[in-house]
A and B are shown apart, each in its own frame.
Chain A
Amino acid sequence: MASASASAQLERAYKRMLIPTFLAVGIFAIVPLVGMIGLSFTDYHLIRGFRGEVGFQNFVRLWTDGRFMESIYVMCALSFIGVAVQIVMGTLVAVGLEKIVPRWRLARGFFVIPFAVPAIVTALVWLSLFTPTLSPINAFFAIFGIQIPAILTTQTGAIAAIVIADTWTTYPFVMLLILAALQGISTDLDEAAAMDGATRIRAFFYITLPLLVPALTMVALFRFIETLKHFPLIFVLTNGGPGRSTQATNYYAYVQTFQSSNVGYGSAIAMFLFFFAGVISLYIAKRNARLADA
């Protein structure tokens, strides 16, 4: 039995183990975080510097800024459509690998490859596929006399293009986690359902899918927060265009800060995004704490 003083000593040792990380997180993460909050209440400009305190003016300006409102619309389109497509596709592939082609063990690795591809490469590869003069897809359909329109020249097309490229590189994330969740579900249930005469498809919708809901929720939240941060895809594929039509909020913050030099206002936009990250991470942390207690 460890004595009381030994256990107090142990706790002190644990605390010492935390100190380096505590300091590092403080310096590398909390300082910039506090800096962002501070800057969002100023009118700091990269060239002109400070001109005076502005208090909440940046945040008031957000609600009257048409470009900001449009950026939210673009962000929502990219996030909701993107996450929905990725969840459906990731789940389909996971279920397919598990139930339709369980013998493709070795091929599973192939489905994961796009997950490792750097974002900038994903963007450039898809830019080449979306460039009509270069794309083998356009060349292939041209054989049959079909002209594929340039997808990046309209807002709808450009949003679709970003979603396609994003889905390509992130559905393996959904797939891997859903595969892991599927393997935790007993196959007895499927067999029992089959005994009762349920078809496989019905068994999937009525038995497997409901059991996957918790995992799907978490994966969707993780993907959602990532899609709010789209940068390389927009930077390379559309540069926010055509016009300003694909400037999602995160990209708009970048444009305001580093192209228009409005650091204060850019920080206020970043704060708006940060708020989402705060709420979603709080939800996940609470959920994990509840699971750990259970």
Chain B
Amino acid sequence: MRDDSFSFKLKRGFGILMMLAFAVFAVFPILWVLILSFRPATQLFVPIWETPFELTLENYSAIIGTNFPFALLNSAITAGASTLLALLLGIPAAFALSKSRLSGKFLASWLLLLLRMAPPVGFVIPLFLIYINSGLIDTYAGLIFAYMSLTLPLVVWSMWTTFNQIPNEVIEAALMDGASIWKTLVKVMIPIARPGIVAAAILSFLLAWNDFFFALIITRSETVTAPVAVMNFVSYASVDWGAIAVASIVLTLPVVPVIILANKYIVQSLGGAVKG
């Protein structure tokens, strides 16, 4: 269908302009922080178009001397470990929920959703009190456990929908060939479900990597994560914008290529709950 009328072209032109505006809205803040991260302290409050070539790497070298790299490592360790553990426990559970004839599946699905939606402020109060009294405060284990209360429901929920899409005949055939149910899961189901697993892993990692609230409450100096450590650059007296910009770029950098490459799988994983 072609439509060459003037009014159609006008409307189309307007539509393209609108899309360009949205694209600018999406990308502009990121470009702005990128620029900010290369601006020397003396030029921060001078518009970039007045001194466009006053750029420096000193913000990047300065941040190496702070605790931020250490906090990044903490973030990677806790997000990675809580994702790995959630996959390890959650995949068999999701498989069982999807394929067994157990009763109480509805209750399980409600509970999983509820845990995904529950406000963390409620969780974190008792957690904080337990951790203070048991010495788990400011430890890797404490933070990883806290993150598992986020990542495990997410992994089980999204893998449950993934496994639902694999026909039962696949399992029956494997069992018929004499494979145990565990072997069927590992050798047959997991390879088929790989895209779903990748998506669940990414979403779960992002959830922990992006967390601010849990880390704010249950870490101190030893296991402080990067999102909380950034706030050290914001003090009552002054805000170190150069350091904040660098930290923002470094925190965002690892997740951007992942989300661009994997957004198709992620839609399927998120969509499990939204389909209809």
- Taking Cβ atoms with an 8 Å cutoff, the residues of A that contact B are 2, 10-11, 13-15, 17-18, 20-22, 24-25, 27-29, 31-36, 38-39, 89, 92-93, 96-97, 100-101, 104, 107-121, 124-126, 128-129, 133-134, 136, 139-140, 168, 172-173, 176-177, 179-180, 191, 194, 200-201, 214-215, 218-219, 222, 225, 228-229, 231-232, 235-236, 250, 253-254, 257-258, 263, 266-267, 269-271, 273-274, 277-278, 280-282, 284-285, 287-289, 291-292
B95 nearest CB across to chain A (Å): 6
Given A14-B99, A21-B89: A92 and B126 within 8 A (CB)?
no
Asked whether any CB of chain A lies closer than 8 Å to the CB of B26, the reply is yes
Write the chain A residue with the least CB distance to B266: A176
What are 18 residue pairs bridging A and B, where the CB atoms are less than 8 Å apart in the complex?
A11-B102, A21-B152, A24-B89, A29-B115, A29-B153, A32-B124, A33-B118, A107-B23, A111-B22, A114-B29, A118-B255, A139-B47, A168-B25, A172-B26, A232-B213, A250-B119, A253-B121, A281-B116
> CB < 8 Å: which of A25, A117, A273 contacts B111?
A25
Contact A100 B148 (CB under 8 A): no
Q: Which residues of A contact B111 (CB under 8 A)?
A: 25
Given A97-B19, A229-B119: A285 and B110 within 8 A (CB)?
yes
8 Å CB interface, B218-276 against A: 227-228, 230-231, 234, 241, 244-245, 248, 251-252, 255-256, 258-260, 263, 266-268, 270-271, 273-276
User: Majority SS of interface residues in chain B?
Assistant: helix
Contact A231 B212 (CB under 8 A): yes
Contact B263 A112 (CB under 8 A): yes
B30-38, B57-65, B190-198 - the one binding chain A: B30-38
Write the chain A residue with the least CB distance to B44: A134
Q: How far is the CA of A136 from the CA of B153 in the complex (A)?
A: 42
Given A118-B251, A168-B29: A128 and B260 within 8 A (CB)?
no
Contact B248 A124 (CB under 8 A): yes
Contact B252 A281 (CB under 8 A): no
Given A17-B92, A128-B241, A168-B29: A273 and B121 within 8 A (CB)?
yes
Q: Which residues of B contact A101 (CB under 8 A)?
A: 15-16, 19
Q: Which residues of B contact A11 (CB under 8 A)?
A: 100-102
Given A17-B96, A250-B119: A136 and B32 within 8 A (CB)?
yes
Listed residue (A117, A201, A214) with the most chain B CB atoms within 10 angstroms of its CB: A117
Given A21-B93, A21-B152, A177-B267: A15 and B23 within 8 A (CB)?
no
> CB < 8 Å: which of A27, A109, A114, A118 contacts B210?
A118
Contact B29 A126 (CB under 8 A): yes
User: A10-B175, A96-B18, A277-B117 are known contacts; what are 12 more A-B pairs with Cβ within 8 Å?
Assistant: A32-B125, A35-B127, A100-B12, A119-B227, A124-B230, A125-B32, A180-B267, A214-B276, A229-B120, A273-B121, A281-B110, A284-B113
Q: How far is the CA of A162 from the CA of B23 in the complex (A)?
A: 20
Asked whether any CB of chain A lies closer than 8 Å to the CB of B200, the reply is no
- Taking Cβ atoms with an 8 Å cutoff, the residues of B that contact A are 1, 11-12, 15-16, 18-19, 22-23, 25-27, 29-30, 32-33, 36, 44-45, 47-48, 89-90, 92-93, 95-97, 99-102, 106, 109-111, 113-127, 129-130, 145-146, 148-149, 152-153, 156, 164, 172, 175, 180-182, 185, 206, 209-210, 212-213, 217, 227-228, 230-231, 234, 241, 244-245, 248, 251-252, 255-256, 258-260, 263, 266-268, 270-271, 273-276
> CB < 8 Å: which of A139, A274, A289 contacts B109?
A289
Given A24-B148, A96-B18: A35 and B126 within 8 A (CB)?
yes
B67 nearest CB across to chain A (Å): 16
Given A29-B123, A110-B26, A115-B259: A277 and B271 within 8 A (CB)?
no
Write the chain A residue with the least CB distance to B14: A100
Contact A267 B32 (CB under 8 A): no
Write the chain B residue with the least CB distance to A27: B145
A-B contact count (CB 8 A): 292
Contact A177 B270 (CB under 8 A): yes
Write the chain A residue with the least CB distance to B94: A21
A254 nearest CB across to chain B (Å): 6
Q: Which residues of B contact A222 (CB under 8 A)?
A: 273-274
Contact B273 A288 (CB under 8 A): yes
Q: How far is the CA of A172 from the CA of B93 in the complex (A)?
A: 30
Contact B129 A274 (CB under 8 A): no
Contact A291 B276 (CB under 8 A): yes
Given A25-B152, A128-B36: A117 and B121 within 8 A (CB)?
no
B23 nearest CB across to chain A (Å): 6
Q: Which residues of B contact A235 (CB under 8 A)?
A: 212
Contact B217 A258 (CB under 8 A): yes
Contact A231 B213 (CB under 8 A): yes
Write the chain A residue with the least CB distance to B245: A128
Contact A129 B260 (CB under 8 A): no
